[in-house]
Structure 1
Amino acid sequence: MAQFSNDKLQRVLQTIAQQEGDSFAFDAAKIESEAHFSSSLYTNLPIKLLTIFGGFLATLFFMGFLFTTGLYNSNVAMLVFGVAFIVGSEILNRLRDDLLLSSVSVSLNITGYLLFGMGVSELSNDTTLALTLAAIAAVFILVSEGTVLVFLSVLVLNGSLMSLPYIFNLPDLLHVFVGLSAATLTYLSLLEAKLISQSPKLNKLYGPVRMGLVFSLVGVLILLSHQEFDADRINHVWISTILLAVALLFVLRRIMQENAVTDYKTQTIVYACCLIMLAPTIGTPSIAGALLIVLSSFYIGHRISFIVGLLALGYFIILYYYNLHLTLLAKSGILVLTGCLFLGGLYLLNRYISSHAK
């Protein structure tokens, strides 16, 4: 077996080789190159974010210069520059794997969407704007090779679809978007290995698409949690909670199956505890959604989306506690009972693990 500079990767491949036998073959150079590229995406992350932010500011100054030339007076010009910026961002991204070019590419992409949206909004109605942006973002996801560009396109696509219920004055249709988002996130999480092994293209698309979906889901959960600022209130929010809870139970079921928890009684207890925990939050789908993000990210071992889910969960729990129309004593009692429930669950889980370890 070829030697790798990454000892962890070497051990993983050795384990696979022992299980598969002599028929197992791989391209050592490509595997190590891909592993190095993947790890480079998360190194010096603050510097990369500052560079992208700086490039975006530079593009905004350039955009301001274009407006001083009277660009905003011509809707066609905004459309042309918007398309040119979007296409140019992909061209720059393919030229060379360089941090500076990547930051400029991201900035051009964001500015392109803004200019194109402004141009279409002046020439047509909101429905056409949302559908056009969604179509462009969908096409860009399929053809782009940039991780950040695909992530941004997923946000644009989901944001456009999210706006349609409000455009048609049917805000309750947002439950459909929540259900589709939960189903897609569950599908991507449970079938990760199968999807990324289909083709190199799907392998590259999987990470940014799933991450964009996570941020989009967090966004719609925030929208559902702050309806006091929205003129068009969404009714029957319990529908979203049920849809998210069903997706959560699917992920929980897969986790128990892969950890050899096949006893029907044990599974029933786990499902019952999960539903009891979610029952008081039936009117707050954000908590069930955040738990879905946390559990699905934990299942596939994705640290960034796991952290995003934990932060969202903490925020939604604090918001839920703050919005309870109860006395301070009642709120304290709820916190104590919830803490006891979790401690009891941890005790039972440790006993179950100890009994099976023996």
Structure 2
Amino acid sequence: MDNIKDIEPFLDTIGAVEGSAFSFDENAIKAEYAKQHKRRSNLVIKVLSIFGILFATFAFFGFLAILGIYESELGMLLLGSILIVLSLLLNIKFDTLIVDTFGASIYVLGIALVSFGLISFELHEDLTTFLIITIALCSLFVVQNYILSFISILIIASGFLVFIFSKDLFELLHFYTAFYALALAYCSFNEPQFFTSGLKVSKIYGPLRIGLIFSLLFGLVAVGNYRLAPMSQNLNWISSLVHISIILYLVGPITKTLGVDSKNTKIWIYTLTCLTLLPTLFAPSISGALLIVLLSFRVNHKTGLGIGIVALVYFVIQYYYDLNLTLLVKSILLFSSGVIFVLFYLFLIKKAPTNEKV
């Protein structure tokens, strides 16, 4: 629902289906919708706030360096712990953008100081990574703040990547991308359950979804760049197979939305989908970006859709650039893929319902 005026007819429709047993507090629903709409409208400000958090954190790092806090391992550990607890208390007590930004800034700073403190105590790097992931996971359950939850999800994903890169276990990146692709798909397919599972769960759904998108992108960037993660390209099908399987599963709801009932038409749709996805079998970055686009389109997540489109364009260009083939072969591959996409587009335009109300 893009407009608060759409709530009343929507509730009337539900009441007609459920019967007289259905009851609701319309004023409370409208108030909560207005609150959530205000949070969504501030998304750009929140994104800018994240960059502000980074600059503020770096500046405070410089201030701590002047004070000589880095010379004391225990001092870093204690100060970091205090900042983390303080950020959580601030976000529990207050719900304003300024406090959110300040709380997230000291949260990031606290995580960094705790990490440096643990490393300075010569604690094993795996244990340090595990403790940081645990702190971020606990923060995620304690505070349902948008920015803080988003940062916590990214910290958890970064912890997994640190473990993979520190051990040179680059093949595990395929399982990393598969896990986050499945997690993102689960969130998208079960969006109604998140919003009806209580206030805490509904609050965490927004940052969870965008956090999973960025976490998946981290893995796709690593998998798609052999210079960053030197590993055998023969195993790329592992990640792609998961992405392609989810995309094929999405075809069913999409054909239902288009009003396609003919069995032959569905066969053609699945055939064209397979032909479109076949070239991406050894290019998991492309199939992963395409998955983000389709999942975001399915739930009308405009931010995710924009991120997915930009990522798709980037990964296609990168894949084309990295191909160890002649320019003629590259041109033939791009031409063939383009023809398939155009045919798929024309087919969908022809089969799309013409009397659909927007």
**TM-score when scaled to structure 2?**
0.89
**The 10-residue stretch of structure 1 (318-327 or 135-144) with the greater mean CA deviation from structure 2:** 318-327
Deviation at 1:18, TM superposition (A): 3.5
Write the letter of the residue equivalent to 1:94.
I
State the Cα RMSD in Å.
2.5
Q: Does 1:309 align with 2:308?
A: yes
Q: Is the 8 A contact 1:241 1:283 kept in 2?
A: yes
Q: What corresponds to 2:21 in structure 1?
A: 23
- 1:296-346 CA deviation, whole Å, 9 max, x = no partner? 111111111111111111111111222233344443333333222122112
**The 10-residue stretch of structure 1 (203-212 or 16-25) with the greater mean CA deviation from structure 2:** 16-25
Distance 1:161 1:42, change over 3 A: same
Q: Distance in 2 between matches of 1:262 and 1:184?
A: 30
Distance 1:324 1:211, change over 3 A: same
Determine helix, strand or coil for the equivalent of 1:227: coil
Q: What corresponds to 2:129 in structure 1?
A: 130
Distance 1:156 1:282, change over 3 A: same
Q: What corresponds to 2:321 in structure 1?
A: 322
Determine helix, strand or coil for the equivalent of 1:198: coil
- 1:100-145 CA deviation, whole Å, 9 max, x = no partner? 1111011111111111111122221221121111111111111112
Q: What corresponds to 2:206 in structure 1?
A: 207
Deviation at 1:221, TM superposition (A): 0.3
- 1:240-280 CA deviation, whole Å, 9 max, x = no partner? 11122112222233433565545444333323222222222
- 1:140-171 CA deviation, whole Å, 9 max, x = no partner? 11111211111111111111122323333322
Q: Is the 8 A contact 1:225 1:286 kept in 2?
A: yes
Q: Distance in 1 between matches of 2:199 and 2:129?
A: 31
Q: Distance in 2 between matches of 1:50 and 1:222?
A: 23
Identical columns (%): 32
Write the letter of the residue equivalent to 1:287.
I
Q: Distance in 2 between matches of 1:182 and 1:254?
A: 18
Distance 1:263 1:102, change over 3 A: same
Q: Is the 8 A contact 1:261 1:267 kept in 2?
A: yes
Write the letter of the residue equivalent to 2:18.
E
Q: Distance in 2 between matches of 1:285 and 1:55?
A: 32
1:157-176 pair list within 5 angstroms: 157-176=156-175
Write the letter of the residue equivalent to 1:70.
G
Q: Is the 8 A contact 1:51 1:100 kept in 2?
A: no
1:1-358 pair list within 5 angstroms: 6-54=4-52, 56-123=54-121, 124-230=123-229, 236-257=235-256, 261=260, 263-353=262-352
**The 10-residue stretch of structure 1 (304-313 or 78-87) with the greater mean CA deviation from structure 2:** 78-87
Determine helix, strand or coil for the equivalent of 1:229: coil
Deviation at 1:56, TM superposition (A): 4.5
Q: Is the 8 A contact 2:4 2:34 kept in 1?
A: no
Q: Is the 8 A contact 1:287 1:316 kept in 2?
A: yes
Distance 1:37 1:334, change over 3 A: same
Q: Distance in 1 between matches of 2:46 and 2:201?
A: 25
Q: Distance in 2 between matches of 1:291 and 1:87?
A: 39
Q: Is the 8 A contact 2:136 2:152 kept in 1?
A: yes
**TM-score when scaled to structure 1?**
0.89
Write the letter of the residue equivalent to 1:292.
L
Structure 1 regions of 5+ residues with no counterpart? none
Determine helix, strand or coil for the equivalent of 1:26: coil
